[in-house]
Amino acid sequence: VMKIGYKDIRCVESGGPEPGVGCAGRGVITSINFLEENGAYEDIDYVSYDVLGDVVCGGFAMPIREDKAQEIYIVMSGEMMAI
């Protein structure tokens, strides 16, 4: 699901696997590939992802390994929602 909002900001919710089943990191790279294939990254300046940081499979390194990111910033806080 992609919605275009204020100042043409594109917002996407991709969901993930059922809790305890599958690898959330694999879901991230699958979502990125799907968005690429469907033109979601055309004519944009920045992309920001808000992903869980508490996965045990290490799958969130996949976008880095597959050269999908040029820079990565980690935002943390003591709050339940960092961003």
Q: So where are the chain's domains?
A: 2-65
pLDDT given for residue 71 in this prediction = 78
Distance CA 36, CA 30 (A): 10
pLDDT given for residue 60 in this prediction = 64
Q: Return the CA Rg of the chain.
A: 14
pLDDT given for residue 73 in this prediction = 77
pLDDT mean values, one per 10 residues, the chain (83 residues): 88 76 72 88 83 61 74 75 62
Residues shown for the chain? 83
pLDDT given for residue 65 in this prediction = 76
Distance CA 12, CA 58 (A): 23
